[in-house]
Structure 1
Amino acid sequence: MSTETPPAGDAWTVRKVLDWTIDYLKKQGSPSPRLDAEVLLAHSRGCQRIQLYTQYEDVLTDSVRQKMRDLVKRRAAAEPVAYLVGHKEFYSLTFEVGREVLIPRPETELLVMEAVRLIAGSPQPQLLELGVGSGCISVAIATQAPHATIVGVEIHPATLEFAQRNVARHQVGNRVELRLGDLWEPLRAGERFDWIVSNPPYVATDEIAGLSADVQKHEPHRALDGGADGLDIIRRIAQGASAHLKPGGGLLVEFSPEQASAIMEVFQTDPAGYQEVEIIPDLSGQPRVLRARWPG
């Protein structure tokens, strides 16, 4: 695909472009060259990934080849595939993403699963999400728990716009209310919730430079930087949550596995008197989500 014309007697078919791109991205250090190639080519052709394999011998048009060439060049420079195609799947739902939002991660699905499990027996649970980002957590909970209502708070206006579009896309605007502000700032006096959920910034400031190139160069640092030990925002959540929880309500907070002991200490020693402070492992067995209850 790097030349203007293929070798004599050959043509730039779906198969040939995939093979070339997989090999090229592998040499450029992509951790998932086949998946990257398939997603980028499907996007360039305006089709589903599965259709690539039913149209293996189709010859690409010049315009599709040019679009694919540009995308591959950007991917080779470590630009995330999700930003290149403008969307990312999370909890079997598609979310619009861009450089103003952190790309949803599979491990964050645990936060959704646990929230849905905990509210299953409540007639009309009210939830608060702090740091709503793309809206993937609130939207996913809303689609799985039609009886729940959710308030999502986001401090950055450009980020909130993505969440608003994703709420509209999945038609949950009647149960997901988005507000602009810093943590508790946009909440009304006396407003309390059954559960507070958050995937806050939790990367230590001096560790950001060591993140993979696609994250370090392209994703918003404000959604990653949790201060000197990565726990600045988490401490603020622990300190303020009791003023916004119903008695017996609780929190679910995502964190990095190596922070497990530190985050347990934050909640176990907080003056609010949290109880049932537990760590929930992800599917790989790594500590991933903290759960705690406030007795009231």
Structure 2
Amino acid sequence: MTDDLTRDLLLGGRVVIWQPRKGFRAGVDAVLLAAAVPARPGQSVLELGCGVGTASLCLAVRVPDLAVSGVEIQPAYADLARRNAIETGVDLTVATANIAALPPDLRNRSFDHVLANPPYYQRSQGPASKDAGRDIALAGDTPLAAWVETATRRLKSGGCLTMIQQADRLPDLLAALDGRLGAVEVLPLAPREGRPAHLVLLRAIKGRRTRFSLRAPLVLHAGPRHLSDAEDYRPEVAEVFRNVAALPGFSCDSSA
């Protein structure tokens, strides 16, 4: 292990993640995003802003026989995504590019699924991080609307967009959707019972006209507070992190 990287294991050791020791590090958000994608074997998937590949690899381990591609603007992170794919045993193709200026081979393709974990913060909301990789991952210079636009363009008719975002940016995310996307579903993710949601998952289907659905919150942790260093995820959520389960409470099927 090099001094500036760590080698982490996810999904019960099924996914290998090399990532920077300092700066932006993949968290539970990427695992939850992957678990929310209703992909089926044989389908095609594109992840925008794939970082070190965490979400794409978790999805590919859960659903076999996917054709998975990723786009990452930071060359060092893209290289780590390729390395992680090899060590995990997943065929992941990663392009080093801005999501607003995809290379021709991706611009000319359509996908069954597009997933993304766009930066959570607006550039205007605070100073840039001293770590460039962390700054791009958490804020970046690409507006949220551009993420949605690129995703929408790359989806097939009937294809599914899945995104995770901070709850306070849900209005921005919904405002970025247009008439090309429908059957919009939002799943709030609450840390504990009775606590406000910090994150939301959003799914939408290209060309669908089904009405908007706000799901009951998914509570991640058991009990009113954290009592020890031990993991305290609720059993159905622990299945996502340990046994490659799909996310409970979010059973949309893009083929319906």
Task: Decide: shared fold, TM above 0.5.
Answer: yes
SS in 2 for 1:169: helix
Counterparts of 2:108 and 2:53, CA distance in 1: 24
Relative to structure 1, the CA distance from residue 263 to residue 133 in structure 2 (aligned partners, 3 Å threshold; closer, same or farther) is same
Relative to structure 1, the CA distance from residue 190 to residue 153 in structure 2 (aligned partners, 3 Å threshold; closer, same or farther) is same
Residue of structure 1 in register with 2:246 after alignment: none
Whether 2:75 is the aligned partner of 1:157: answer yes
1:246 Cα deviation from its structure 2 partner: 0.9
SS in 2 for 1:138: helix
Counterparts of 1:168 and 1:94, CA distance in 2: 9
**Equivalent residues of 1:253, 1:289 under 8 A apart:** yes
Residue of structure 1 in register with 2:28 after alignment: 106
- Which of 84, 103, 115 lines up with 1:186 in the alignment? 103
**Equivalent residues of 1:110, 1:282 under 8 A apart:** no
Superposed CA RMSD: 2.6
Residue of structure 2 in register with 1:58 after alignment: none
1:112 Cα deviation from its structure 2 partner: 0.8
Give 2:207's aligned amino acid: P
Structure 1: runs of 5+ lacking an equivalent = 1-42, 44-82, 211-215
**Equivalent residues of 1:127, 1:150 under 8 A apart:** yes
Equivalences for residues 60-99 of structure 1 within 5 A: 86-92=6-12, 93-98=15-20
Counterparts of 1:288 and 1:226, CA distance in 2: 20
- Which of 274, 288, 294 lines up with 2:181 in the alignment? 274
Moved more, 96-105 or 189-198: 96-105
TM-score by length of 1: 0.59
User: For 1:106-159, what per-residue CA distance to the aligned partner results, in whole angstroms no more than 9, with x for missing partners?
Assistant: 1332211111xx11xx34110000111111111111111112111111122122
**Equivalent residues of 2:18, 2:80 under 8 A apart:** yes
TM-score by length of 2: 0.68
**Equivalent residues of 2:41, 2:64 under 8 A apart:** no
Give 1:224's aligned amino acid: L
Give 1:125's aligned amino acid: Q
1:190 Cα deviation from its structure 2 partner: 3.2
- Which of 143, 153, 166 lines up with 1:233 in the alignment? 143
Q: Hey, which bits of structure 1, 4+ residues long, moved more than 6 A?
A: none
SS in 1 for 2:118: coil
Residue of structure 2 in register with 1:167 after alignment: 85
Equivalences for residues 42-53 of structure 1 within 5 A: none
1:160 Cα deviation from its structure 2 partner: 0.9
Residue of structure 2 in register with 1:252 after alignment: 162
Counterparts of 1:141 and 1:203, CA distance in 2: 25
Give 2:34's aligned amino acid: V
Counterparts of 2:97 and 2:158, CA distance in 1: 26
**Equivalent residues of 1:164, 1:178 under 8 A apart:** yes
Residue of structure 2 in register with 1:24 after alignment: none
The structure in which a higher percent of residues are helix is: 1
Relative to structure 1, the CA distance from residue 84 to residue 161 in structure 2 (aligned partners, 3 Å threshold; closer, same or farther) is closer
User: For 1:193-222, what per-residue CA distance to the aligned partner results, in whole angstroms no more than 9, with x for missing partners?
Assistant: 001001122312244449xxxxx4545211
- Which of 116, 121, 126 lines up with 1:203 in the alignment? 121
**Equivalent residues of 2:111, 2:156 under 8 A apart:** yes
Which has the higher relative contact order, 1 or 2, with Cα contacts under 8 A spaced 6 or more apart? 2
